[in-house]
Structure 1
Amino acid sequence: MFIITLTYIKPLETIDALIPEHRAFLTRHYANGTFLFSGPKIPRNGGIIIATGESREAMEAVISEDPFHREQAAKYEIVEFTPAMTAEALNDFCTA
C-alpha cells in the first residue's frame, strides 16, 4: 500500500483550474481499485491519497497521469508500507 502526499508548488489559482481534470484522474483510479481514500490537506497546501498497487514503479506511473504532475503544479512523496494492523472494516488490506 502507499501513502501519496502532494504539496502544491503553484498558486491555488493554478490548482483550482486543474481540479476538474484532477478529479477525473481520481475517479478513474477509484474505479479500477487503485485509490482507496483521498482528500485535501488542512491547511489547503496539497493533498493525500491512500492507494494500493503492485509496486512503487506502478504507483509512479499512475501519478504521472495526474494533471497536477503534468503541469508541475505539485510535488509528490510516495511512501510504501505493509499494513500489519487495521480496523475490522479494512481487514482485506491487512497482510499480517
Structure 2
Amino acid sequence: MFVLELTYTAPVERADELLEAHVAWLDAQYEAGVFIASGRKVPRDGGVILAVGDDRARIEEIAAADPFTVAGVCAYRITEFVATKTAPGLASYREQPPA
C-alpha cells in the first residue's frame, strides 16, 4: 500500500484552475481500483491519497500523470508501507510482512 502526499508548489488558485482535471484523474484511479481514499490536507497546502498496489514504479507513473504534476503545481512524496492491520471494511487490503 502507498501513501501519496502531494504538496502545492504553486499558489492554491493555480491548483483550483486544474481541479476539474485532477478530479477526473482521481476518478479514473478509483475506477481502476488503485485509490481507496483521498482528500485535502488541513491547512490546504496539498492532499493525501491512499493507493493499493505492489509496484512502486506503477504508482510513480500514476502520480506523474496527475494534471497537477503535469502542470507543475505540486510535488509528490510517495511512501510505501505494509498494511498488516486494517479496519474490518478494508480487510481485503491486509498484507503479510515480507519474510
TM-score by structure 1 length?
Answer: 0.97
SS of corresponding position for 1:79? strand
Counterpart position of 2:52: 52
Counterpart position of 1:38: 38
Counterpart position of 1:83: 83
Task: Count the aligned residue pairs.
Answer: 96
Q: What CA RMSD, in Å, does the superposition of the two structures yield over aligned residues?
A: 0.7
The unaligned stretches of length 5 or more in structure 2 are none
How many Å separate the matches in 1 of 2:75 and 2:4?
10
SS of corresponding position for 1:89? helix
Runs (4+) of structure 1 exceeding 4 A deviation are none
TM-score by structure 2 length?
Answer: 0.94
1:1-96 → structure 2 map (5 Å cutoff)? 1-96=1-96
SS of corresponding position for 1:39? strand
Q: Deviations over 1:37-93 (max 9, x none)?
A: 000000000000000123110001111110110011001100001111111111111
SS of corresponding position for 1:61? helix
How many Å separate the matches in 2 of 1:66 and 1:23?
9
The unaligned stretches of length 5 or more in structure 1 are none
The residue identity in structure 1 corresponding to 2:80 is: E
The residue identity in structure 2 corresponding to 1:31 is: E
